[in-house]
Structures are given as C-alpha cells and as structure tokens.
Amino acid sequence: MYIATAEEMRRLDRMAIENLGIPGVVLMENAGLKVVEVISRVLGDLTGKKVTVMTGKGNNGGDGFVIARHLINQGAEVKTLLLANPEEISGDAKINLDILQKMGHKVYPAVNANSLNIVRVALVYTDLIVDAIYGTGFKGELSEHVGRVVEAVNESKKPVVAVDIPSGVEGDTGKVTGPCIRATHTVTFALPKLGNILQPGAEYGGELHTADISIPKLLVNALGLKCRLVTGDLVRSLIPGRNTGTHKGSCGRVAVIGGSEGLTGAAALAGMAALRAGAGLVTLGIPRGLNALMEIKLTEVMTNPLPDTGRKTLGPEALEPIRQMASGADVLAIGPGLSQDGSTVELVHNLLPQLSVPMVIDADALNALAKQPELIKQLKAPAVFTPHPGEMARLLGVSIPEIQNDRLKTAQAAAQDWKAVLVLKGAKTIVACPDGRTYINSTGNPGMATGGTGDVLTGVIAALIAQGLKPEEAAFAGVYIHGLAGDYLLGQLGMLGMVAGDLLNALPIVTREYAGK
C-alpha cells in the first residue's frame, strides 16, 4: 500500500477532478459516507445517539458537514460546532454547509474563548465526537483557542473519530507540537498519509481505516509514489519456499562476523536468526579465544575460530580468513557483538572496502565506520546498513534528537548519499533505498525494545539475501517478519519480559503463511 504526502494527495484529487471529471463535491460526499460507516460500527444503531461534529474552514470541515447530514438522516442527534467564521467557508465545503443549514440544522460558531462553554456542554451530552477541524495540510501548532477545544475533547474521554488525520498532527511528518486530538479511530481517504503512519502521529490516530472514495487506482499508479507501507500482501510473494529438490546448499550460505568477550550473545542471536529465517548454512566467525564457548552454545550454527588480539576480540590478522569466509558465502553479516576495540575498528576499516559479497552491516561495524564515515562510499558490494538512532547519529555526526526529529528524510538522504539500503530501526522502522523508494514497517511493538532484537534482525535480513532476495527486498521483508514475530509473542507472552531469544522460535511460526511456493 502506498503512502502519500499532503501534496501528493492534493495532486491525486486534482487528477480525479480535472483528468477524469469526478466533481470534488462527489469525493467529499464519498469521504463523509465512509466516516459515517465507521461511526456506525462504533455506535451501532445511530437512532437517538448523540454525536458532536467539530468542523474547520477547509475541506476537512466540508467532510464534517457531510458527516453531520448523514448522521441526521440516520436518526442521530447531531450538534455541529464550527471553529471558524462562516464567511471563511468556500468551495465544496460551502456547498455542504449550505445544504446542512437548508435542512434546518443549526451550526454553532465556536471561534473564541466565550464559546468554550458551548463546547464543554456539548461534550458532556455526547456519545461520540467527530474531529473534522484540520486536515493533512496542517503544520505547526494549533491556535490557543483551538488548542483549548482539543484539550476539552481529550479530557471528555469520549470516543473520537478523526477525519483523515487527528487535528494537531502534521500530515507529512507525524510531528505533534502542543495539543492534539487523541482519536479512537481515524478514517483516511484513498491512501494513508505519512502523518497517519509515522510516530508520534500514529499514536494519536487510534485504529486507522483507509477508505476508498472512488479515486481510480490508475491515477494512484500514474502518480509515481515512492513510499509504501510494508504489509503482508507485499511480503507474501518474497519469502522463499522449498520444493522436493531443495538441499541445504541451495538455501543460502550466511557468514556472520561478530562476538567479543561479554558480547557473545549478539553474535549467537544473529547466527541462529539466519537459520530460523531459512538459511541453509550459517558460519559464525568468532575470536579464537571464544570458540570453545560458542561451540557449546551453538549446535546448528558452525563456528570458525579467527585470529584474535589476545583480548578475545578480532584484529587485522583476521582480515584474510574473513575474506575467505566471505568468498564462500552468499552474504556476510558483520557487527553483532564485535566490540569497539581499536584493533577491531582497524579490521573493519580495512576489510569492508575489499569485499564483493553483499553485506549486512550492523552494531559495532557501524560504530567503526562512524570513526571514518568516508569509507562508506568506498564499499564495492551491495550493503544494507541497520542502525538504531544512536548509531545513525554517530554515523552522521549529529545528535539523536536531530535524527528523531525527521526520521524519514534522514533515512532517505543517507540512503541516496551512501548508495546503499538503510534500515533506520525504531517504532515504524524505515527502509530507504538509493533510488528514493522508501518502505515503512507496519509490524512490531514496544515489547521488542530489549537487547539483542537488532541482532536477530541482522540475521533475518542476511538469510533472505542468501536465499535470493534483493537487498532492499530482504530489508523490508526482514523488518516485517521480525516485527511480526514480536507481535505473535505479544499475544503469547505479553509485552514485559519478552527477550530477543524468544523471537528465534517465533520466526518460523509467523513465516509459514508467507512462504512462497
């Protein structure tokens, strides 16, 4: 499913109106009807139900007028509040305001502090609130008066259905500055908007419904959108299946380089995750001083004891053995538990530009590159970088708040600059490609915010590349099934106490229905 910016949605509306001749008032009518359908599911029979419709001056308010009309027709008791001066209403919104008033329905102005009492009284005697104040073009902070209205709505604890996006959320970034509607449901039209999907906006929207308002798919395809929501339908055909002639050598060979004293678990998790995600053979390159331990810890993952520094870390002497490992593998994953030992950093700097096999670069390999970021552009092989916000901040030499302030643009710019696939981990993980295509993940939960889950993701992505997926496909499909495993465990274990190792057993369970035939 594609995700649109506010401007892309405006273009889509114009194409429907100007190219195909679908009147804007028809699109508005369809939008309002779709919201009423959701309200009916929330409240049941609308006869006698009390609904307060909050409207603004734009097309979002116009949708609100349509909603009010159809609610009245279905027997609801509707109070419509207008948080703008009536003379500011124009176009299709004005047509629907006029229809509503000709029906004898009173629209109450609520434009200043004196009208707050009207708002509060309406909220006391309502079963549900419709937020049609601002749409996806909103930016910045609500005015003081509207902010107080929004606070009153939130304090009422009544169900709220937001039209397109909760008022107070920026449509293109998901940013929230100041008061913002906390919706129970959001009905967005034609396509989800970035602000519906990105945090913190997604947190304010409640359950998201994407409604068809009769804009033909051919227009969506013609728009050339580059941002997609990763869903099961997108992933379904990518997860490799197996036939009767399959053998371990045909399921992909993964080399994992990682581990150091105190950090062996990260490397073990990455190796086991690669197997659980379908790789046929996985070899873990580990400092020689830790090999005996890892041979006990790991049964199915093979180990390769590499020359170490005497500190149970890898150094420059391991370069040639790692190159030999990589030459016999379909993909090399490097970084989990690797350490930031000076000799290890030197190894990473010398090794990565020499490799020609696809790579998944994570954790301490990223931290090593952060000390010499110009090496990123010297990589010859296709690479997938998988930083969390802290690692990304170090790579770019900025603060974590700067990364989090606009995760989408940060990821897109870096992927294009580095000519690599970038997985910026976190809530709604972003996968950005060098050509501008971007994928936002739809799975995962806060229970996964625990050490080691990123190492599991590294193994999953590496396994999918080894099985023939393109790096960008492996990245977004890997992120999806990794989050899906977390969601499965949420139902089995709950959020607290979930650990990274739990994901290993969940991976084959959640991928069964997605595996290709």
Quick check: helix, strand or coil at residue 424? strand
Q: How much is the average pLDDT of 402-409?
A: 94
Question: What is the distance between the alpha carbons of residues 403 and 432, in angstroms, rounded to a whole number?
Answer: 14
| C-alpha gyration radius of the chain | 27
Question: What is the distance between the alpha carbons of residues 444 and 141, in angstroms, rounded to a whole number?
Answer: 30
pTM of the predicted model, to two decimals? 0.93
Q: Among positive and negative, which fits the CA dihedral 172, 174, 177, 179?
A: positive
| Residue 18 reports pLDDT greater than 50 | yes
Q: How many residues does the chain have?
A: 517
CATH fold group of domain 234-514: UDP-N-acetylmuramoyl-L-alanine:D-glutamate ligase (3.40.1190)
The pLDDT confidence band at residue 237, using thresholds 50, 70 and 90, is confident
Question: What is the distance between the alpha carbons of residues 115 and 80, in angstroms, rounded to a whole number?
Answer: 13
pLDDT for residue 516:
55
Q: Which residue, among 259, 341, 337, 326, has the nearest Cα to 293 in the 3D structure?
A: 259
Same topology between domain 6-225 and domain 234-514: no
CB under 8 A, 24+ apart: contacts of 174-179? 174/198, 174/199, 174/200, 174/201, 174/202, 175/200, 175/201, 176/200, 176/201, 176/204, 177/140, 177/141, 178/141, 178/142, 178/147, 179/142, 179/146, 179/147, 179/148, 179/150, 179/151, 179/154
Q: Are 334 and 363 in contact (CB under 8 A)?
A: no
Domain ranges of the chain: 6-225, 234-514
**Which range (81-90, 139-148, 235-244) has the least confidence?**
235-244
| Residue 517 reports pLDDT greater than 70 | no
The share of the chain scoring above pLDDT 70, in percent, equals: 99
Alpha helices in 342-406, H assignment, sequence order: 342-351, 363-370, 389-396, 400-405
Q: Are 53 and 23 in contact (CB under 8 A)?
A: no
Question: What is the distance between the alpha carbons of residues 417 and 399, in angstroms, rounded to a whole number?
Answer: 19
**Tens-digit pLDDT profile for residues 82-119:** 999 999 999 999 999 999 999 999 999 999 888 898 99
**Tens-digit pLDDT profile for residues 323-367:** 999 999 999 999 999 999 999 999 999 999 999 999 999 999 999
pLDDT for residue 244:
79
CATH code: domain 6-225 is 3.40.50.10260
Q: How much is the average pLDDT of 122-141?
A: 96
Q: Among positive and negative, which fits the CA dihedral 93, 95, 96, 98?
A: positive
